[in-house]
Each structure stands twice: as C-alpha cells, then as structure tokens.
C-alpha cells in the first residue's frame, strides 16, 4: 500500500517518494537535549494509530554541528525514511529556526546500506518551519498509510529560558558547574541541565561525555566517581574536579562515572552559544548540556 500525503493545519506535507513497508507499531518516540545557555529542544515522532504488531524505530544522529539526521527504520533495521534537520537561533536569542531538508548525497555516502543499497525515501524539497519562541511547537507531516493506521509526523518543541532549561528528568544534573583541571583555576557556566547523559565542552580541550552506566557506544571508561555536588575523574593524563550548585545525582548520593573524551569535538551552530554572541560564530565558550541520547553530540 502506498502512503498518502495531505495538508495539515500546523504543517505542510511535502511530496515524498513512494514507500512500501509492513505495518508498524509504537505510538511515539522523542529525543530531548538541554543546554546551559537556556536552549532546550524536544523532537518527537508520532505514528498515529498503528494497527500492526511490528515496530518502527527512530534514530537521530549528528550530521554537522547544527544539523541532525532523523532516520525511521522498520523491524528489519532498514531505513524507510530519513531527512536532515537544521537548527539555528535568532540574533536576539528569542526564537529558534528549523529547516527540514532532504537526505541526499552526504547521507547516502555515510549510510550506503541503510536500505539494503536502495535510495532511502526522503523529502523532495526543503521545509522551513515558522520561527518558534519559548514554549511553542512546530510540526511536519512525513507520510500516511491509512490502511495501517499510520500518520507519521515529527514535532519540535523548544524552551528558551535559562531557569527552565533542565525540565527533562534524568539521573545526571549539572547546575552551575565549575571544572578545575589538574588543580588549576576553575571555569564555570551558569544554568542547569539534566538528562540520562551529560557533557561539557571546554575550548581547546574538546568535549567530555558522562554516564552513570556503561553506554553501548563510544570509548567510555569508568574513570571517576560522583559524590553529592562533586565529581572527580582522570582521563588522558589529566585530573578533573567538578563541583555543582546542587547534587549531581538525582537518584543516589554517590556513583561511579563513565567518561568519554573527544578532543576533536567542537560545537557548531549559534544555538550552542550564549545569548548575544550570534554575530560571533567563532566565539564558543565553556558550556554544559544533557540529553536522553548521545546522538545529539556523537556521530
């Protein structure tokens, strides 16, 4: 059965390539990231009312510093649809801008066998969302298969408020984190972030990524511990001592911590910067972030 596309009130459906697939299950899937500059983004895929027993999964992976691939896969782990989502922040910091783009040559080169060597269905042209202010939501329809109860769409919700940026619950919380390396003077960021995974970026040092358990990706190592408001770890011959304004663990007093250091990681896109620095794209300061997935940062 071929998918059906229609016009929605909140979004414009775009013509897509024909898609043949089995029935799919699972109501909706989402991914949330919060940054210490006050930006929080949640991307959610809704499926409508699936009638089958098979599962549609959604993966998100970093495409560039300011864009991400959203990949929908069937129960055989084959991609049935993909597109690129580009994110930016307005110059005054009060709005977020999103553009959904077709997954084209770069995607095909990176994921050549994502659909057993066949071209993966995608958008036929760019779709620019209306600018979203804090608390607002935008949506794009992807495809429908009425006989299977599928009405697949992605929605994006944003929060732009330093005090509210840690709305997503998670075992790790970085609140006004201070980081000292080898006993040196600490660097500090304002704001609070919370999620299953947390990270911080230090200019000229790269990105440091944290988990309270061993993740199934990346070269994470159990190299430190968390107690109350303090986290200590040693990696790449450097000792770190981190202190926060509130307990770092939401559900325990202490824990081991798994750490991954990507020395080449450099955030891009003005959405990672503090308000007022949009005109200075090369000025990226120390910041913290948290999410329910590592895909916001790691390829």
pLDDT in tens, 16-38: 333 333 334 333 488 999 999 88
d(CA 223, CA 70) in angstroms, rounded, equals 32
Check if the beta carbon of residue 293 is closer than 8 Å to that of residue 197: yes
pLDDT in tens, 197-231: 999 999 999 999 999 999 987 789 999 999 999 99
pLDDT at 254 over 70: yes
Check if the beta carbon of residue 52 is closer than 8 Å to that of residue 1: no
What band does 13 get if pLDDT is binned at 50, 70 and 90? very low
The arithmetic mean of pLDDT across residues 142-154, rounded, is 81
Which backbone phi and psi does 201 adopt, to 5 degrees? -120, 135
Handedness of CA 284, 170, 159, 103 (dihedral sign): positive
Of the ranges 26-35, 248-257, 290-299, which one carries the lowest mean pLDDT score? 26-35
What contacts 198, CB < 8 A, 6 or more positions away? 170, 172, 173, 174, 209, 210, 288, 289, 290
Alpha-carbon distances, residue 29 vs 5, 45, 72, 288, 292 (angstroms): 21, 5, 10, 24, 12
pLDDT at 161 over 90: no
pLDDT in tens, 75-102: 888 998 999 999 999 988 899 999 999 9
d(CA 159, CA 164) in angstroms, rounded, equals 7
Of residues 291 and 10, the one with the higher pLDDT is: 291
Q: Supply the mean pLDDT for the chain.
A: 83
Helix or strand or coil: residue 143? strand
Supply the pLDDT for residue 283.
58
Structure tokens at 215: 């993740």
d(CA 69, CA 40) in angstroms, rounded, equals 18
Q: What is the pTM of this model?
A: 0.83
pLDDT in tens, 238-247: 999 999 999 9
What band does 48 get if pLDDT is binned at 50, 70 and 90? confident
Helix or strand or coil: residue 290? strand
pLDDT at 110 over 70: yes
Which backbone phi and psi does 75 adopt, to 5 degrees? -65, -15
């Amino acid at each position: 059965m071929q998918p059906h596309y229609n016009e929605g009130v909140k979004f414009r459906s775009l013509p897509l390539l024909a898609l043949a697939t089995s029935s799919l299950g699972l109501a909706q899937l989402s991914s949330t990231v919060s940054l210490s500059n006050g930006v929080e983004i949640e991307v959610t895929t809704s499926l409508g009312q699936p009638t089958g027993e098979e599962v549609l999964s959604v993966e998100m992976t970093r495409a560039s510093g300011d864009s991400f691939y959203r990949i929908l896969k069937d129960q055989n782990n084959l991609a049935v649809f993909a597109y690129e989502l580009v994110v930016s922040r307005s110059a005054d910091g009060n709005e977020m801008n999103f553009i959904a783009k077709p997954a084209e040559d770069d995607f095909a080169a990176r994921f050549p066998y994502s659909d057993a060597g066949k071209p993966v269905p995608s958008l036929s042209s760019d779709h620019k969302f209306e600018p979203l202010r804090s608390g607002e939501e935008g949506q794009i329809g992807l495809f429908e298969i009425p006989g299977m109860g599928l009405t697949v769409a992605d929605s994006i919700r944003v929060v732009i408020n330093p005090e509210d940026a840690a709305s997503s619950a998670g075992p790790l919380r970085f609140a006004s984190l201070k980081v000292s390396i080898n006993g040196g003077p600490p660097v500090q960021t304002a704001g609070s972030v919370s999620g299953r995974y947390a990270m911080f970026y230090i200019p000229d040092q790269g990105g440091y990524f944290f988990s309270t358990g061993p993740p199934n990706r990346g070269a994470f190592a159990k190299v430190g511990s968390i107690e109350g408001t303090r986290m200590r770890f040693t990696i790449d011959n450097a000792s770190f001592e981190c202190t926060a304004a509130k307990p770092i663990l939401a559900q325990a007093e202490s824990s081991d911590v798994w750490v991954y250091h990507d020395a080449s990681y450099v955030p891009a896109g003005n959405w990672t910067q503090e308000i007022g620095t949009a005109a200075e794209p090369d000025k990226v300061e120390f910041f913290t972030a948290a999410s329910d997935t590592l895909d916001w940062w790691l390829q």
